[in-house]
Amino acid sequence: MNATPHDGMFDDAPAPRTREELAAQLRELDDPYYQESGQREHRRGARASLLWVMGEAAESPISGTTLDGPPSMDDIANEAEYAHQAMSGSSERGRRWQEGRTAGYLQGCENTLFWAAKLGDDDF
C-alpha cells in the first residue's frame, strides 16, 4: 500500500512533536528499563514507530505502508488507529495485524504513535 508522502506542513518534523522531541524519545528507549524482559517488545514497537515518524524507516510499523518520505499527520493518525485496532482486535483487519506481533510490540506502537501525533495524553 502506498500513501502520500510528507506534504511539507511540518518542516522540522512530520508530527506536532519537534524532531528534537522525537529523537529524545528514541534515546530514552536506551534506558535499562526498556531492556528488561517485560519491556523489550514495547521498546521494539516504540522504536519502529519513532523511526517511521522521523522518516528514517520507509515501512510503517503496523500496516506495512511504504512511503517515499516521512509520513504526514494523516498517515501518523491512521497508523495510530491501526495500532489501536490491532491491540483491541476490534476489526478483521486489526486481528490480521495481530499476527506475528506481541501485545507489547502493539502497545509500544500505539502509545508512541498517539504520543507523536499529540492525539492522546502527553505520556509516552
The DSSP code sequence of 19-67 is HHHHHHHHHHTTSGGGGSTTTHHHHHHHHHHHHHHTTS-SB-TTT--B-
Task: Spell out the domain ranges in the chain.
Answer: 19-59+68-116
Give pTM, 2 decimals: 0.82
> What average pLDDT does range 105-118 have in this prediction?
93
Cα 96 from Cα 86, distance rounded (Å): 8
Q: Could you read off the pLDDT of 14-28 as tens digits, one per residue?
A: 557 888 999 999 999
Is residue 4 over pLDDT 70? no
